[in-house]
């Protein structure tokens, strides 16, 4: 289970940059409290450098494949010329 570090808002304000750096190293979220009650959660960002390529992202998602070059409707159903 992922444990959260609890920090008061005043302490977070004073040590913000060092807490963010520590969070980056230990990958542990920080719960920020005000008067002992949680008001915010700061969690590590997901690693976007390992983002998958968009090429092939939709592979296997086509449910039906007819003829992509055929008209969607019959020519007599078009009313653009009327």
In a domain, 8, yes or no: yes
Which domain does 6 fall in, by range? 1-44
What DSSP element (H or E) covers 12?
Answer: helix 9-26
Per DSSP, the three-state class of 76 is: helix
Each residue's pLDDT tens digit, 50-62: 667 788 878 888 7
Per DSSP, the three-state class of 27 is: coil
Per the structure, how many domains does the chain have?
Answer: 1
CATH number at residue 3: 3.40.1620.10
Each residue's pLDDT tens digit, 32-77: 999 999 999 999 887 666 667 788 878 888 777 777 787 777 777 7
């Amino acid at each position: 289970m992922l444990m959260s570090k609890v920090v008061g808002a005043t302490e977070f304000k004073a040590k913000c940059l060092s807490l963010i750096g520590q969070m980056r190293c230990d990958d542990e979220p920080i719960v920020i409290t005000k008067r002992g009650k949680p008001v915010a959660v700061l969690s590590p960002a997901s690693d976007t450098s390992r983002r998958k390529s968009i090429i092939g992202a939709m592979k296997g998602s086509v449910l039906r494949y007819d003829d992509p070059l055929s008209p969607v409707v019959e020519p007599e159903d078009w009313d653009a010329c009327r």
